[in-house]
Chain A
Amino acid sequence: MTNGWIDIKNTDMMLIMGGNPAENHPCGFKWAIEAKRNRNAKMIVVDPRFTRTAATADLFLQIRAGADIAFLGGLVNYAIQNNRLAKEYLLNYTNASFLVKEGFQLPENGLYSGFDPATQTYDKSTWNYQEGGNMAGKAAPIDRPAATAAPAPAVLPPNVAYDLALEHPRCVFQLLKKQYARYTPETVERITGIPKDQFLKAADLFTSIRKDGDTKKVASVIYAVGWTQHTVGTQIIRTAAILQLMLGNVGRAGGGVNALRGHSNIQGATDMAGVFDLLPGYLKMPRPEDTDLAAYLKRVTPTVSKPGPWDSFSYWSNTPKFAVSLLKALYGPAATKQDDWAFHYLPKIDRQYSWTQLWDRMYRGEVKGLLSFGMNGVMIGPDTKKNIAALKKAEWLVVGELYPDETSEFWRAPGTTTEQMRQIQTTVYRLPCAGFAEKDGSFTNSARWLQWKNAALPPPGDARLDQDILAQIFLRVRDLYKKEGGKFPDPILNAAWSYTDPQHPSLSEVTKEINGKALADLKDEKTGQEIKTGQQLPGFAWLKDDGTTAAGNWIYCGAWTEAGPQLARRGTEDPSGLGIYPNWAWSWPANRRVLYNRASCDVEGKPWDPSRKQVWWNEAAGRWVGNDVPDFKADSPPKDHMGPFIMNPEGVGRIFAPLAAFAEGPFPEHYEPMESPVKNPLHPNQSNNPVVKKFTTAEDVYGTVEQGFTVICTTYRLTEHYHYWTKHNPMNVETVPEPFVEISADMAKDYGIEGGETIKVTSARGTYIAKAFVTRRIKAMLIDGKKMHQIGIPIHWGYRGIAEDAGKTANTPANLLTPTVIDPNAFTPEFKGFLVKVEKA
């Protein structure tokens, strides 16, 4: 979240889309209710189903799964056409005025400039700003062909060309206008199935916060995996970001683009690099071409790119400090300057290792074994059948779990004969692990708060803590390397492991290591503050690239300081009344509660809304001060015009995302899901996301309407259950005992299906069997003029659990149906919006 859970109470307008917070985040949803109750805030819910969130909404629109960009693009168009814009914000805090290179082309035919069909990739060199300063009034040469001179290295120009009148035909704003002019209410209706009048009602309501030049009101966009789980997931979120930048809602209390995380610590997992292409703190993973640290840092450290008179903090220019401090934390004394800070110890990623790709390689016999902790791999990935087949090909599998789960029992998946079981050679080790209440440690929530928790009770029986199991594995592997050597033992032998009890590393020690400490006496020349060798660092501003600091994750620096565990704080004071609670837990970065909060003020440094004051410029003190920690260079005066988006080299928010930021283009474009019931109405010849690559094993099959897969299907969670765990808990099972398929009353009539009747849902990959839940909360839709049905399947059931073990379900995991196809930016599978057929069982 750019903002936080509690901050939602400050909003005037909510767009909840691609998420169902009432059901999946009920505790956090209280703040949405607060906003309604205390501010008369309005709530718009857009979802394929009328959910329990929709039940409390002021306006609900039923959308076809996978049509989100069309809807949001329609909102962008509406805001521009009706001048519902935050003009000053747009001009000063976004790249709306920047000029884009000649040769950059909008995807009128479905493709941006530079596409190579052979490799399905883009040459992105035209996706860049023009060099050159103030271009106001200087008309562009019309339709000049793309420059064909020798390709310059793809970097952003330091002195960006711009037009503050926003009239230059190559300026971002004019290109944006042109791009989304195609997303008319009629087109939105054709693609999304939302009738034009309903769309206009929602568009008018959402953008009403900027009616008649109002700059005080603020709107929040709230989403979850209903946006991410698409082949265009990242671009859906981009469209929302563009909309929020145009309306001036980012950085403001009650605003922002807010991702609701579906697990207690998913934010923490991402922050700590539970993603293959990242190192902790969102540092990029080295690649093979990064032959030394200097080469790596040159590639990943951005250089400032902005209009001449403006200033840009470009905080990522500190990347070398973060990277060297990380290497010091990882390799301790072995990371020396002479040895390039042990950079060569880091693995270099030669290919993509995302979840679906890893399992694909296991299926191909290339991955020999799997350590599976904190997940139920068979159940969570697309195409369960392929995942089970993949595990059969592995040599070994280690599962750390609380319950007997589908992954550790893949070998007895329904339909496996005794004969087939005999053929399976995989050795399975199932280790009893501690549950969340049996461990201490911290959770990082959606609001980026690190919150320390204590263990409530010890693990039962033989169950062990995850860190103890991992420590055992590490120490024994290290012993083997010590004794037997190996291809490259150094990174293992020299990995820092200085815990008091190496067999049982305490999580408080690990957290302190992540925060980081001084490795030499440090002194801040400006303030005179000193930090002695060995002391915990108070914040990331202290990090150095000379080996005198170590920090396992720069954004967590400040969480556990010399003053103690900041993340364990429980102060309930909220002096501003904005729900900032500065002394409750600790929020990264630097305990800031709302990111980019400089943008909550006008150019002069005064809050847009004096009743929701977050930070402001104090002229007398010559500093930014406020109720929240300013997310800004504290002493940069407004007259210097430093951009509020300090993590971008431009200093401003990106309406146009240049160069390699995204795989499919600088502006989002609607592409159909990989399995779609229609050809893309915008450009039938380029229906899907052009850079999405299909998997190619025999299991990877994709269905079409011609094959009879005519029904749109989406998957989701219920409030009564938590993923694949609670099917083992009697009380959860009592509240929703059995799997079901939600189908519309229209469809039930067309198909002659009664509520409660068992039905069979089949995709190109598998079959799911459950009872029909016939409801008026889903309706048949007109997509591109054709009547279509949409159904929904909750994901919670598999082949182990109370109902399953009692023989009360068909033992069919929902992901038997889902396709192995992923978003090219975030690598998330397309669990929403695929094709099936429905029959009576």
Chain B
Amino acid sequence: MSQATLEIRAISGHAGSVPGAGVKRELEVCKLIDTTTCIGCKACEVACLEWNGLTFSETTFQNSYQTMPETAWNYWNLIKFNEHERDDGSLMLLMRKDQCMHCEEPGCLAACPADGAIVQYANGIVDFQQDRCIGCGYCITGCPFNIPKFSPQARKVFKCTLCADRVTQGLEPACIKSCPTGCLHFGTKAEMKELADHRATQLREHSGFAKAGVYDPSGVGGTHVIYVLHDASDPEVYGGLPADPHVPWTVQLWKKPLKWLGNLAIVAGVAGVFIHYLRYGPKTVPEDLQGGKP
């Protein structure tokens, strides 16, 4: 999507100042997912496919209602189903909508060596710019939520954009629009936090979920996608939601003193590709991938 319509806060692999930084501060957006009212209907999955024009892929039955084991380069929004037995022996069917968390301190962006391949807008959305992506996959190691996915055909990495294209036009993301139960909400971070806290309190006081709470992990500076959980003390049971996500230390290290070194390596890599091109000609893109995005 066009970068012109959104104010940028941070840019991957970029030396020097961020264009327009400090000029204007937009409201920070946030998606609230109330897992306690999600019914796993997958309307959000399909809306995501449709809005983003993602290609159909073949799936197989995996002894679960879950569409596939994890999100894919062409499947950015996945409900994770988990049968969880509580201490009293009663069963819970946990359904958590998994997608990019749009971290305040995005590990992917920190890890990315390509100038402008990942940007963070002032509204909090972390967006990949595939035209700048070099397919190195560093962002994948940088993400504590296992979100960016490499497309072997496009040789680029893809993930949820929080429908940045819709959001700039004043619309909610496609998943929010499609959700029938209203378990998804969209607004400013402050509003969503308040709504989430309110719901968590209700769950504690009226529904017997003493440990209900809000997931907005501080290890990544908070996220622009937050959850209400029945049991905030144990997010791992929701299909491996990390209890205390952090950007890996290797990436943190890389981000600071080692980055210039890495940049050198990248330059060498790009040079290698250029030499490859000179010798063998351009790589052909598979037909179904021609014509832009995934």
Contact = CB atoms under 8 A, between A and B. Distances in A.
Interface of A: 22-23, 26-27, 29-30, 33-34, 36-37, 40, 50, 52-56, 58, 60, 719-720, 730-731, 734-738, 740, 755-756, 771-777
Interface in B71-125: 83, 85, 90-95
Interface stretch (B38-46, B145-153, B275-283, B285-293): B38-46
B17 interface: no
B37 interface: yes
Interface string B184-228: 000000000000000100100011100000000000000000000
A738 B60 CA distance: 7
A738 B64 CA distance: 11
A731 B181 contact: no
Given A734-B57, A740-B61, A775-B83, A58 B49 contact: no
A54 B206 contact: no
A23 B39 contact: yes
A8 to B, nearest CB: 12
B72 to A, nearest CB: 11
Contacts of A30: 180-182
A720 B67 CA distance: 10
Contact of B181 (A33, A720, A734, A774): A33
B37 A33 contact: yes
B63 interface: yes
Contact of A735 (B46, B181, B202): B46
Contact of A777 (B61, B91, B182): B91
Contact of B182 (A23, A34, A52, A772): A34
Kindly name the residue among B63, B92, B95 whose own CB sees the greatest number of chain A CB atoms within 10 A: B63
A775 B93 CA distance: 11
Interface in B1-57: 36-37, 39-43, 45-46, 49-50, 56-57
B131 interface: no
A756 B63 CA distance: 6
26 contacts: A22-B181, A23-B39, A26-B39, A26-B43, A30-B180, A34-B182, A37-B182, A37-B199, A37-B202, A52-B41, A52-B65, A52-B95, A55-B40, A55-B95, A56-B37, A58-B207, A58-B208, A60-B91, A731-B56, A734-B49, A734-B57, A735-B59, A736-B65, A737-B59, A737-B60, A776-B85
A737 B93 contact: no
B183 interface: yes
Contacts of B62: 756
A745 to B, nearest CB: 9
A731 B91 CA distance: 30
Q: What's the dominant secondary structure at chain B's contact region?
A: loop
A37 B42 CA distance: 21
The 4 A-B residue pairs with the shortest CB-CB distance in the complex, in nearest-first order? A755-B63, A22-B39, A55-B93, A26-B41
Contacts of B206: 40
In which size bucket is the chain B interface? Answer: 35 or more
B67 to A, nearest CB: 5
A714 B56 CA distance: 32
B186 to A, nearest CB: 16
B37 A777 contact: no
B37 A36 contact: yes
Nearest to A745: B83
A30 B182 CA distance: 7
Contact of A731 (B39, B46, B90, B94): B46
A52 B180 CA distance: 14
Nearest to A58: B207
A139 to B, nearest CB: 49
Contacts of A23: 39, 41
Given A52-B39, A58-B207, A737-B60, 13 more contacts: A22-B39, A36-B207, A40-B207, A50-B93, A55-B39, A60-B91, A719-B41, A731-B50, A734-B59, A738-B60, A756-B63, A771-B61, A777-B93
B178 to A, nearest CB: 10
B237 to A, nearest CB: 14
Contacts of A55: 39-40, 92-95
A541 to B, nearest CB: 38
A310 B90 CA distance: 51
Contacts of A756: 61-63
A54 B85 CA distance: 14
A33 B183 contact: yes
B93 A52 contact: yes
A736 B65 CA distance: 7
B250 to A, nearest CB: 35
Nearest to A772: B63
A552 to B, nearest CB: 34
A740 B92 CA distance: 21
B39 A29 contact: yes
B282 to A, nearest CB: 31
Contacts of B58: 734, 737
Nearest to A51: B93
Contacts of A730: 56
Contacts of A734: 49, 56-59, 67
A33 B41 CA distance: 14
Contacts of A777: 83, 91, 93
Contacts of A772: 63
A29 B180 contact: yes
A538 B156 CA distance: 64
Given A738-B60, A774-B63, A776-B83, A52 B181 contact: no
A50 B91 contact: yes
